[in-house]
Amino acid sequence: MNEEFNFESLIFEYLDQIKFLFFPDQWSSAFLDYSKNEVLVLIFLYRKKSANMTVISDYINAPLNTTTGVVGRLEKKQMVERKRNEEDRRIVNIVLTSKAYEFINLEKKVIEHIIKEVITVLTEEEKATAINIFNKILSLLKQEKQQLNDEDQPVKKVKRILIE
């Protein structure tokens, strides 16, 4: 491959090919009524059943005030509710409502259907290769994010004080 690889044209070509995935008629329209952070919170709570604001904030990698807004919007949509701990009333956990469980289960069925259709056209070898490639990409992206985070952290200098 002596020709210079043109990433820009490759990226635009793939975007042209997959743009239909971003059209609302491809997905449940309800799914598009939620922000990225709202979807992440719903999925997190679906898996964990209950969490406090600090844990949710850590999961979505957002400040606590942003998480409070996200949870507030989900409350207005009747997708989550705040539950006080019976033993310690100061502790407030966020849990999904039955409406949220129904919503997530419906969306899971749509996604599962699409994935099953894709999988049926792949051989076992292609499935294994696709999973390996996906895992390598995730690993690389995680490494790069960690490096960026490490670079952003100020170096703490310890000042030594001599005691006589």
Output the DSSP codes for 121-151: TS-HHHHHHHHHHHHHHHHHHHHHHHHHHHH
- Band the pLDDT of 143: cuts 50, 70, 90: confident
pLDDT at 1: 47
Q: What separation in angstroms does the CA of 80 have from each of 3, 30, 38, 47?
A: 54, 16, 10, 14
Tell me the per-residue pLDDT of 85-96, one tens digit each, with 9 for 90 and over. Answer: 888 888 899 999
Tell me the per-residue pLDDT of 45-86, one tens digit each, with 9 for 90 and over. Answer: 999 999 999 999 999 999 999 999 999 999 999 999 999 988
Residue 163: left if φ>0, alpha if ψ -120 to 50, beta else—which one? beta
User: Cα(130)–Cα(69) distance, rounded to whole angstroms?
Assistant: 37
**Domain positions in the chain:** 7-130
CB 79 within 8 A of CB 102: no
Domain 7-130 has CATH 1.10.10.10: yes
CB 93 within 8 A of CB 68: no
pLDDT at 60: 95
Average pLDDT, the chain: 85
pLDDT at 49: 95
Share of the chain above pLDDT 70, in %: 82
Q: What is the mean pLDDT of residues 7-31?
A: 71
- Band the pLDDT of 154: cuts 50, 70, 90: low
What the block records as the tokens of 8 is 């820009």
Per-residue b or e along 123-140, where b marks 16 or more CB atoms closer than 10 Å to that residue's CB: eeeeeeeeeeeeeeeeee
